[in-house]
């Protein structure tokens, strides 16, 4: 049953959405920059950096629209993730069926949905931005939708990240943890390639540092390291 009076943030059943949202807001204080860059309607592909298992929840809290997340099918092998994926309306993909994956995501985008895909393909183990995979390029162009890069900061070091080469087995932070989400300007599908998206994500991270957002010092250092690496690679090339 639909509840039109209630603004829906997720594809969860609305009582579950309220419960999850309440818990998340107790654990994290999410500040958002650039929400106006997300189109109010029509298909759009969001490409955020990936720092933790809680990223999807925080992105949904920050987003002005309900998001359909792209998730790897093998996560269903764990009972908890199987339950989450079943109830969240995630778009499941498998590395064994790349064409079917692309068709599934393109169909959702053409239907006017806001789809969130982590272009690194995995959670960062170092906190640094990893290589950007190119699969999204074909998806955005075939669907004819804008691409919005999203950088977030503040979650690295939490129990849900891999900081210290540990997951969960870390001392929790003081609550609520401040997190910042920065939505970049929408890119036309024909100009959204892997190199451009990586540069945009690094620039957004640098912008967070320049603004002096609380808890961005770590990400600022990581951005500087990633940029230096990119420069070295370009110079050697």
| pLDDT, tens digit, 9 for 90 and up, residues 16-37 | 778 777 877 888 888 899 999 9
Name, in order, each residue with C-beta under 8 angstroms of 34's C-beta and a sequence gap of 6 or more: 182, 183, 184, 185
Let me know if residue 19 belongs to a domain. Answer: yes
Q: Which of 36-40, 48-52, 174-178 has the lowest mean pLDDT?
A: 174-178
Most confident of 95-104, 159-168, 200-209: 95-104
pLDDT digits (tens, 9 = 90+) for 208-231: 777 755 444 444 444 555 555 554
Instruction: Give the total number of structural domains in the chain.
Output: 1
Residue 7 pLDDT level (bands cut at 50, 70, 90)? low
**Of 70 and 80, the one with more pLDDT:** 70
Give the per-residue pLDDT at 36.
96
Let me know if residue 2 belongs to a domain. Answer: no
Give the per-residue pLDDT at 196.
97
| Cis geometry, peptide bond prior to residue 228 (ω within 30 degrees of 0) | no
Let me know if residue 221 belongs to a domain. Answer: yes
Name, in order, each residue with C-beta under 8 angstroms of 19's C-beta and a sequence gap of 6 or more: none
- CA angle (157 as vertex; 169, 64 as ends), nearest 5: 115
**Of 86 and 114, the one with more pLDDT:** 114
Structure token pair of residue 4: 């039109």
Let me know if residue 125 belongs to a domain. Answer: yes
Let me know if residue 123 belongs to a domain. Answer: yes
Residue 172 pLDDT level (bands cut at 50, 70, 90)? low
Domain of 193, CATH number, reads: 3.40.1130.10
CA distance 205 to 228: 14
Give the per-residue pLDDT at 156.
64
Does residue 19 sit in helix, strand or coil? Answer: helix
Let me know if residue 227 belongs to a domain. Answer: yes
What is the pLDDT averaged over residues 145-169? 71
What is the pLDDT averaged over residues 230-236? 47
**Of 230 and 103, the one with more pLDDT:** 103
Q: Are 83 and 62 in contact (CB under 8 A)?
A: no
CA distance 28 to 168: 16
Let me know if residue 219 belongs to a domain. Answer: yes
Structure token pair of residue 119: 């272009």
Q: Identify which of 75, 98, 93, 95 has the alpha carbon closest to the alpha carbon of residue 85.
A: 75
Side-chain-side CA neighbours of 206 within 13 Å: the count stands at 12
Q: Which of 17-26, 61-70, 183-192, 225-234 has the lowest mean pLDDT?
A: 225-234
- Residue-number span of the structural domain to which 175 is assigned: 14-236
Let me know if residue 55 belongs to a domain. Answer: yes
Q: What is the pTM of this model?
A: 0.79
């Amino acid at each position: 049953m639909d509840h039109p009076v209630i603004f829906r943030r997720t594809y969860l059943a609305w009582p579950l959405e309220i419960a999850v949202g309440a818990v998340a807001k107790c654990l994290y204080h999410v500040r958002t920059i650039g929400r106006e860059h997300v189109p109010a309607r029509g298909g759009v592909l969001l490409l955020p950096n990936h720092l933790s298992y809680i990223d999807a929840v925080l992105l949904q809290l920050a987003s002005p629209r309900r998001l359909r997340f792209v998730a790897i099918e093998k996560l269903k092998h764990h009972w908890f993730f199987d339950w989450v994926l079943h109830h969240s309306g995630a778009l499941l993909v498998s590395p064994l069926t790349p064409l079917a994956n692309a068709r599934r995501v393109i169909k959702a985008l053409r239907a006017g949905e806001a789809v969130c895909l982590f272009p690194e393909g995995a959670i960062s183990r170092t906190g640094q931005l990893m290589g950007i995979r190119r699969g999204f390029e074909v998806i955005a162009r075939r669907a004819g939708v804008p691409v919005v890069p999203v950088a977030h900061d503040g979650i690295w070091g939490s129990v849900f990240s891999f900081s210290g080469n540990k997951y969960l087995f870390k001392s929790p932070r003081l609550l609520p943890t401040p997190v910042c989400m920065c939505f970049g300007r929408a890119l036309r599908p024909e100009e959204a390639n892997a190199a451009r998206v990586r540069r945009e994500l690094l620039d957004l991270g640098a912008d967070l540092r320049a603004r002096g957002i609380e808890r961005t010092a770590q990400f600022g250092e990581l951005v500087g390291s990633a940029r230096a690496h990119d420069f070295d690679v370009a110079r050697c090339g």
